[in-house]
Amino acid sequence: MPSYRAPVKDTLFVLQSVCKLDAHSNLPGFADATPDVVQAVVEEGGKFCEGVLAPINHSGDLQGCTRHADGSVTTPDGFKAAYDAFVEGGWGTLMAPSDYGGQGMPHIIGTVFQEFSASANMAFAMYPGLNEGAQAAIMAVGSPELKERFLPNMVHGRWTGTMNLTEPQCGTDLGLIRTRAEPQADGSYKISGTKIFISAGEHDLSENIIHLVLAKTPDAPDSVKGISLFLVPKFLVNADGTLGARNGVSCGSIEHKMGIHANATCVMNYDGATGYLLGEEMKGLRAMFIMMNAARLGVGVQGLAQAEVAYQNAVTYARDRLQGRALTGAKNPDAKADPLMVHPDVRRMLMDGRAFIEGARALILWGGLQVDLAHKAATPEERELADDLISLLTPVIKGYCTDKGYEIATTSQQVYGGHGYIAEWGMEQFVRDARIAQIYEGTNGIQAMDLVGRKLAMNGGRGLRAYLGLIAENVASGKADPRTEALATGLEKAAGELQAATMWLMQNGMTNPDNAGAGATAYLHLMGIVALGEMWLRMAIASHAALDAGSSDKPFFEAKLITARYFAERNFPDCGALRRKIEAGSAAMMAMPAEAF
Amino acid sequence: MPSYRAPVKDTLFVLQSVCKLDAHSNLPGFADATPDVVQAVVEEGGKFCEGVLAPINHSGDLQGCTRHADGSVTTPDGFKAAYDAFVEGGWGTLMAPSDYGGQGMPHIIGTVFQEFSASANMAFAMYPGLNEGAQAAIMAVGSPELKERFLPNMVHGRWTGTMNLTEPQCGTDLGLIRTRAEPQADGSYKISGTKIFISAGEHDLSENIIHLVLAKTPDAPDSVKGISLFLVPKFLVNADGTLGARNGVSCGSIEHKMGIHANATCVMNYDGATGYLLGEEMKGLRAMFIMMNAARLGVGVQGLAQAEVAYQNAVTYARDRLQGRALTGAKNPDAKADPLMVHPDVRRMLMDGRAFIEGARALILWGGLQVDLAHKAATPEERELADDLISLLTPVIKGYCTDKGYEIATTSQQVYGGHGYIAEWGMEQFVRDARIAQIYEGTNGIQAMDLVGRKLAMNGGRGLRAYLGLIAENVASGKADPRTEALATGLEKAAGELQAATMWLMQNGMTNPDNAGAGATAYLHLMGIVALGEMWLRMAIASHAALDAGSSDKPFFEAKLITARYFAERNFPDCGALRRKIEAGSAAMMAMPAEAF
């Protein structure tokens, strides 16, 4: 059975030294997040995930969810008790505004708990995760009355939420939606249609489930421009807030999937269910994207989280398993073999994991900070900058961190040799669970198109310019110290490849948009390496500063510096290769007749 | 449910135009493999795999194998009938020598059937695959009496074989083996111990199971030098060839695994079982490697095979699924959306698959030819050259083709979006099945160490020199025609990176062997790209020749040329990056204290 220890120390380092949380204590929400409070939340959150969520991760995978003849769904043994403890501990209320019973903590702090819980038990963490996404959409566009009626119970966790987009004939292309919404005399709507792949669509954890559903009103145009968003509760809610009649929505079946078995993926049937318009009619997609952007960041976190837990277990195995001898002579001469850890190729796998994980954690928490700053920074300029940066980097965090998350989960499984393939060791579950993160909330191909087709050109390219400027600043700081000069120079070169690739895409995507599509995924990966490289430079600078200041935790900072070097040596070389792939354009792939494939 | 069509046309192209089968018709075995016979075997083999094996692949995964209280194991529904049809059709006898009832066809032809069957049903194909490996070892080192007693029934398929290496405490490091062999007065041995991960260790397909088992005799040194190989039948065999008493070997349990559910992975308990020494005492490892080298090539085939079937289904889905519009304007204006195939990023995924698959098929069949030539070529020089080449490339075929096989299975699953994650669509099975090929028969890290640590230096580097010489010859041919000049130049540059990386490893691995270990996997991938690139150049030259000769199948050869170009554009850029990673050496990864991970 695998185990999990929350990476408390590394998290506190990133919050303090990379994100400089103290520097933002003047902002709403941050004032309460004093160093003591942050440390307590991180430590206690870690303990909860280690002690309550991790122990039911493997058993939950084996047992899965069960749908009964009446359409009800039971989660695996222990999930209801763990969810009750989750609610009791207030872990779902961290980021929610105090108006609705939340703790009003910064988004960056909530992101820490997202990571820990998604490492400990990804299938479990999705239930509150979807609830948070639904809350975000209601907060953003719901009427005061809907907010009042639904948000307090959702924030509390007594009720949970879902997102209903996909239908059998439409995934990415939401213009194909067929679910209909008929307006009623009382201002409500009757919703009819079938939604598929609805995570947490039905379960036994909460008293009510609040579905947010995309549907078309009768006269809406037959395209994405005709989509509206509706709130459809499983149980109708009386005026006094008590639960009323069962609504016309039910779970038709649950899917048998590659992974996340403990999360119920439902086919949801809407049969004249009562729904309430959220926001304006035919502006549903905009409202959905509020929830979607937060969800995409959350999925990026899942990539990091599965890599982290898989890496941790691979390290333990590499320390414990005795097999073979070091190439440079026995390191454990009293035993019949050395631990796996002595073999460079095993260390390569572990270091690949570590270099990704620590870089991604920094990027994701720094991204969480930008979400906060976009709403709360003191000046409009600072808010615009933060919004530009997180808009640009959302597809990178989602796409790059989940592609790498799957890769590192697989690599960590590889450290186990044959045992990695056996279910009881638990490593193969991490791979299967990590796999979905590349697919849902917009496949990684869609993330790449969002980056290249929308985010680069947004506001005349302001976001990328700002980001490259910020990188150049850090490169300059890095070059000023001979100890970080090589890393800074490597990052400068990588950013140069990114700039050149951007230029190529701008010029050649204009004349033929297929050139942009052909290079999109390579471009997303290129920006991912640059983004992690930038974080590694920040971490290296901070580590030298800590050592110079005589830190009592020398081993921690020395390990950071070694990993920074490894990251640069093993990742920056790919930047030039990715640029060349982008610059190859679309000619070859588009020349192939469809029937020739 | 996914489907499978054997790639008959592409296979015949590779056999004829890349491997030039006709040019070898003077050799034993090849004489009977006339173009008509080869075409018939390929076509009928394809039909058998499509019609008999593919239909029970998905159901076999869902059902898995069952172990009963008496230790017997039942394979999934339909497997016994399919195996009977397999035996009836003589598909297991293709490559076996006629002395034992085989058809004596060249290894290269047997490799074709290996691919088709591993695409159609990898878990099924492993049963006869292990049988063939066991036969190879018995043929190579068994006494005339053991050969006579066991081989005819094994070749026929009435009996099957297994390989027993791994024990709980030892996988890669076979020096740690604890299974004991006590010599008996009659010349036999009593074998006692526990073996794990024994594929096809127990099942209901054959009347007897012949286990080849590594064990140590009483006075053997406690290292790999003390290992002997034994033949241990499930049922003892009487002098007249009939089955005798049940031997003291039994299946203690079967493993629950990530994939290949329909192949029984057994814990085998040996409790004073009667065994017969195969070859010389304490030379067991050498005998085992005869079987292992063939098995490693077979595992490389599995990587190709799973990529092929996953790719085929992704193509079908990309043609059928309507979603979104082409970036260059609607291609299917009468419907509400265009097929996925119009999107460059979808084509990127398909072309990545195609470029790998067709290149790997050529490499693997050409490798199969080298196995034949190593035994049957007319002169000692030709035999030595073929043996050098296949020794060098065995770890590349195993390691590179299975790493890429898993990648392409994953990429093909990605084409399906959310449906790829759902079991009933069958794509996730390909990923789970493909995953084991990177692990068993020596993990891919072990393949990389075999390449860098043994194969490069073998015979003073004769193999690599010969291979680079052969590449240079093809580059010269390619450069002579302006139509293949760019491809040839790309290959030349890639081979130059390989040469430079080799030089670096030679120099820096000598002073510190950790440098060789640190770069081994990157080096294996680098050689994999060069090897596929070389095949693409051959195929491009052959395609131009066919078009120049007025081939009636223009679309086939034009698609080859497009794919060759795509391969070069998207794979050669990685060679320089891989070289730089190799040249980074082991300093960073080895600097990390074990406790700091």
Q: What does pLDDT average to over chain A? A: 97
How many Å lie between the alpha carbon of A212 and the closest alpha carbon of chain B? Answer: 19
Per-residue pLDDT tens for B150-206? 999 999 999 999 999 999 999 989 999 999 999 999 999 999 999 999 999 999 999
Read off φ and ψ for residue A296, nearest 5 degrees. -65, -40
Helix (H) and strand (E) counts in chain B: 18, 11
pLDDT at position B82, please? 98
Cβ of residue B168 closer than 8 Å to a chain A Cβ: no
Of A41-50, A275-284, B54-63, B281-290, which range is least confident?
Answer: B281-290
Residues of B tagged active-site: 441
pLDDT at position B32, please? 87
Cβ of residue A58 closer than 8 Å to a chain B Cβ: no
pLDDT at position B294, please? 87
With contacts defined as CB-CB under 8 Å, which chain A residues touch B424?
256
pLDDT at A292 over 90: no
pLDDT at A29 over 90: no
Per-residue pLDDT tens for B466-503? 999 999 999 999 999 999 999 999 999 999 999 999 99
pLDDT at A372 over 90: yes
State percent of chain B over pLDDT 90. 96
pLDDT at A298 over 90: yes
pLDDT at B390 over 90: yes
Q: What does pLDDT average to over chain B? A: 97
pLDDT at position A136, please? 93
Q: Return d(Cα A17, Cα A84) in angstroms, integer.
A: 35
pLDDT at position B290, please? 82
**Which among A284, A288, A146, A131 has a CA at the least distance from the CA of A201?**
A131
What would the mean pLDDT of B260-285 be, rounded to a whole number? 97
Q: Return d(Cα A522, Cα A98) in angstroms, integer.
A: 42
With contacts defined as CB-CB under 8 Å, which chain B residues touch A414?
438-439, 443-445
Cβ–Cβ gap B351/A589 under 8 Å? yes
Strands B159-164 and B208-216, by their bridges, are parallel
Q: For testing the chain A interface, which of B327, B505, B583 should be mutated: the one with the most A CBs within 10 Å?
A: B327
What would the mean pLDDT of B318-330 be, rounded to a whole number? 96
Q: Residue B288 — very low, low, confident or very high, per pLDDT cuts 50/70/90?
A: confident
Pair B453, B467: CB distance under 8 Å: no
Helix (H) and strand (E) counts in chain A: 18, 11
With contacts defined as CB-CB under 8 Å, which chain A residues touch B318?
597
β-pair partners for B209: B160
ipTM of the complex, rounded to two decimals: 0.97
β-pair partners for B274: B190
Burial class (CB in 10 A: 0-12, 13-18, 19+), B144: exposed
Q: Residue A286 — very low, low, confident or very high, per pLDDT cuts 50/70/90?
A: confident
pLDDT at position A289, please? 85
pLDDT at position B464, please? 98
Q: Residue A459 — very low, low, confident or very high, per pLDDT cuts 50/70/90?
A: very high
Cβ–Cβ gap B347/A518 under 8 Å? yes
State percent of chain B over pLDDT 70. 100
Per-residue pLDDT tens for B330-349? 999 999 999 999 999 999 99
**Across the A/B interface, how many CB contacts are shorter than 8 Å?**
263
Nearest to B323 among A171, A516, A517 (CB): A171
pLDDT at B239 over 90: no
How many Å lie between the alpha carbon of B145 and the closest alpha carbon of chain A? Answer: 35
Tell me the residue type at B389.
L
Tell me the residue type at B589.
M
Cβ of residue A493 closer than 8 Å to a chain B Cβ: no
pLDDT at position A236, please? 98
Catalytic entry in A441, A492, A497, A534: A441
Count Cβ atoms below 10 Å from residue A222 Cβ, excluding itself.
Answer: 12
pLDDT at B523 over 90: yes
pLDDT at B44 over 90: yes
What would the mean pLDDT of B71-95 be, rounded to a whole number? 97
State percent of chain A over pLDDT 70. 100
Residues of A (22-41) whose Cβ lies below 8 Å from B: none
Cβ of residue A320 closer than 8 Å to a chain B Cβ: no
- N- to C-terminal Cα separation, chain A: 44
Distances, alpha carbon B420 to alpha carbons A197, A258, A436, B597, in Å: 12, 9, 9, 35
Q: Residue A77 — very low, low, confident or very high, per pLDDT cuts 50/70/90?
A: very high
Q: Residue A287 — very low, low, confident or very high, per pLDDT cuts 50/70/90?
A: confident
Q: Residue B292 — very low, low, confident or very high, per pLDDT cuts 50/70/90?
A: confident
**Which among A246, A275, A285, A286 has a CA at the least distance from the CA of A146?**
A275
Residues of B (407-436) whose Cβ lies below 8 Å from A: 410, 413-414, 417-418, 420-424, 428, 431-432, 435-436
pLDDT at B373 over 90: yes
pLDDT at position B376, please? 95
Q: Return d(Cα A422, Cα A433) in angstroms, integer.
A: 15
Q: Residue A288 — very low, low, confident or very high, per pLDDT cuts 50/70/90?
A: confident
pLDDT at position B424, please? 96
Of A218-222, A321-325, B516-520, which range is least confident?
Answer: A218-222
Kindly state the tokens that stand for A60.
Answer: 């939950």
Strands B243-246 and B235-237, by their bridges, are antiparallel
Strands A159-164 and A208-216, by their bridges, are parallel
Pair A184, B335: CB distance under 8 Å: no
Cβ–Cβ gap B424/A558 under 8 Å? no
pLDDT at position A527, please? 98
With contacts defined as CB-CB under 8 Å, which chain A residues touch B451?
none
Residue of B nearest to A513 (CA): B327
Cβ of residue B249 closer than 8 Å to a chain A Cβ: no
Provide the 8-state DSSP code for B170.
Answer: B
Cβ–Cβ gap A258/B423 under 8 Å? yes
Nearest to A258 among B421, B558, B574 (CB): B421
Cβ–Cβ gap B588/A336 under 8 Å? no
Q: Return d(Cα A51, Cα A577) in angstroms, integer.
A: 44
Kindly state the tokens that stand for B273.
Answer: 């079982």
pLDDT at A436 over 90: yes
Pair A11, A434: CB distance under 8 Å: no
Of A214-218, A372-376, B25-29, which range is least confident?
Answer: B25-29
With contacts defined as CB-CB under 8 Å, which chain A residues touch B351?
588-589, 592
pLDDT at position B27, please? 92
pLDDT at A28 over 90: no
Cβ–Cβ gap A345/B449 under 8 Å? yes
pLDDT at A294 over 90: no
pLDDT at position A1, please? 86
| B72 Cα distance to chain centroid | 29
